[in-house]
Amino acid sequence: MNDTDMDPFACFDDSDDDDDDDDDDENDQQHEQQHQYGSSPPQNITKPSSITSSRQFTYSTENGNSTASYSLQQDEQSQGRRLVDEANARLDAATAVKDGLLPVTSSSFEVFDTLTGAGKGLRALKVFEYGDEILREYAAMRVPNHQAAESLEEAEQLHERAVQSTFNNLHHSTQNAIIQLHSCDQWMNHDDSPGRHASGVVTPLGAYQSNSYTLGDQKCGGLFLTTARMNHSCRPSATHIWRPDLQKTVVFATRRIEIGEEIFTTYGPPECLDTEGRRDYLREKFSFECGCEMCEEGNRFGGDDRMIEINSLQEDISMLAQTGDPKIAIDAVERCLSLLKEQSISIGAYRQPLLHYGYQIAMDGLKDIDLAKSYLSKELAVTQQCEGPTSPKALQIQAMLDDLF
């Protein structure tokens, strides 16, 4: 499977590129745009942005008095950490237009045939430590998510046309790379509808729907040729994040990855479900039966029980923080963090919102500044490791932390 659904994994305002991409600022602005953290820290813990996304259409009545929303689901720890092969990340806009945007190549990873029924995957050619940047790349396709229409059918047709139009304007080498990506079964209905599969052939619409994910404020989605090659695991070794300041998606290691090891991301679900729930979600959205390590374990070591408890705690923490005893709420946060670690899924997408809840509860409920600093410091460290130290969110959290001292 060569899909990315992430969501996986929240959102801040777009800002200028603070990385050492100064030489490319002009070209970056000409290239791709959008995603990640909104205007404030995450306020809920049920939808990590790197884990899920959706292709969304909005359509309204002609007089504009009512609207409806329809979704097609497919949904640096240190300053010195950089992409191993920076030259491959610095794509010149003019060259990209002339020669076509192609998958990123590097001496640090390779695309390979998995021989497991999952198609192609991404494999490490060097050791990556937790927080190391693996790659960054521009979107090969960017398509608006919202289409003004009077019906769902019209919205779908407009979306199909937008995908096809975007594809038609690409260099032929980029088109070929997109058509080589995997397409989910639901887009292989063998009918004659515009943009859909005929005789099982991958079409632009099928490739886009199966491999794109929502960027930032959900105004558009993006398809990334190299990131799309990462297969799914419910216990991923990497996370990808859209960096609006860079206008690129960036992939970070979420644990140590050995040489020769396949690099996995996660396609969802956003909630912490048991094995059956996760498999149902992936089967419905991506047409495959998950056979990852975590799903194979099932509840043999108590994994399903932990996931059910985590999901329950996540649902309770927001209510406890606002209306309950703050001490009970903090205990729930700590219990949830502990369970994530036991389940070996203590990745940023799950930890970030929990740590921010800890900060809010400590500040507003317990009035404990030292405890608030502790949670915010941990949130900053996690954010730097999974988004980069100069990401908009990391800089915002750092500013919040500075205000506490």
Across residues 174-202, what is the average pLDDT?
A: 69
Domain-located, residue 158: yes
| pLDDT above 50 (res 92) | no
Predicted pLDDT of residue 200: 65
263: in domain: yes
Rounded CA-CA distance 352/336 in Å is 12
Radius of gyration of the chain (CA): 21
Range of the structural domain that residue 191 is part of:
22-291
Q: Taking 80 as the threshold, does the pLDDT of residue 301 lie above it?
A: yes
Q: What is the pLDDT of residue 211?
A: 93
Whether residues 348 and 361 fall in one domain? yes
Q: Which residues contact 395 (CB under 8 A, 6 or more apart)?
A: 15, 18
**With b meaning 16 or more CB within 10 Å and e meaning fewer, what string describes 75-98?**
bbbeeebebbeeebbebebeebee
Predicted pLDDT at 210: 92
What pLDDT score was predicted for residue 115? 82
Q: What is the CATH number of the domain that holds 370?
A: 1.25.40
Mean pLDDT along residues 209-226: 90
CB-CB neighbours of 371 under 10 Å:
16
**Whether pLDDT at 375 is above 80:** yes
Asked if 252 and 317 sit in the same domain, the reply is: no
CA–chain centroid gap for 335, Å, is 25
Q: Are residues 317 and 214 in the same domain?
A: no
Whether 110 and 214 map to the same domain: the answer is yes
Q: What is the pLDDT of residue 25?
A: 44
118-131 tens-digit pLDDT: 889 999 999 999 99
The structure tokens listed for 220 are 């558009």
In this structure, what token pair is assigned to residue 67? 């609207």
Domain final residue pick, 291, 322, 337: 291
Q: What is the structure's pLDDT at 349?
A: 86
Say yes or no to pLDDT of 50 above 70. no
Closest CA to 205 of 173, 175, 163: 163
Q: List the CATH number of the domain containing 115.
A: 2.170.270.10
Q: How confident is the model at residue 187 (pLDDT cuts 50, 70, 90)?
A: low
Do 127 and 243 sit in the same domain of this protein? Answer: yes
Residue-level pLDDT at 136: 96
From residue 262, alpha-carbon distances to 52, 110, 240, 348 in Å are 21, 9, 15, 20
- 284 with 310, same domain? no
Domain assignment present for 2: no
Higher model confidence: residue 309 or residue 38? Answer: 309
Of 76, 60, 56, residue with least CA distance to 68: 60
Q: Judge if 179 and 272 occupy the same domain.
A: yes
Task: Tell whether 341 and 263 lie within a shared domain.
Answer: no
pLDDT recorded at residue 99: 56
Decide if pLDDT at 88 tops 60: no
300 lies in the same domain as 269: no
Sheet holding 212-215, edge to edge: 141-144, 220-223, 212-215
Q: What's the number of domains the chain is made of?
A: 2
Task: Supply the pTM of this predicted model.
Answer: 0.75
Please check whether residue 205 is in contact with residue 160, taking contact to mean a CB–CB distance below 8 angstroms: yes
The answer to whether residue 12 sits within a structural domain is no
Q: Is the pLDDT of residue 164 over 70?
A: yes
Which of the listed residues 249, 275, 291 is the one where a domain comes to its end?
291
Question: For the residues 349-378, what does the mean pLDDT come to?
Answer: 95
The whole-number average pLDDT for the span 146-173 is 92
Cβ–Cβ < 8 Å for 234, 292: yes
Q: What are the structure tokens assigned to 194, written together? A: 């515009």
HSE, side-chain direction, 13 A CA sphere, residue 161: 8
- Together in a domain, 181 and 50: yes
Q: Does some domain include residue 14?
A: no
Question: Is residue 3 assigned to a domain?
Answer: no
Asked if the structure places residue 11 within a domain, the reply is: no
Question: DSSP strand E in 78-176: where?
Answer: 109-113, 120-124, 133-137, 141-144
Q: How far apart are CA 379 and CA 41, in angstroms?
A: 10
Measured from the Cβ of residue 165, the count of other Cβ atoms closer than 10 Å reads 11
Q: What is the pLDDT of residues 329-344, one digit of tens each?
A: 999 999 999 999 999 9
Cα-Cα-Cα-Cα dihedral sign, residues 378, 379, 380, 384: positive
Percent of the chain whose pLDDT exceeds 70: 71
- Are residues 254 and 306 both part of a single domain? no
Task: Based on the fold, state whether residues 242 and 300 are members of the same structural domain.
Answer: no
Digit-coded pLDDT (tens) for 11-33: 333 334 444 444 444 444 334 33
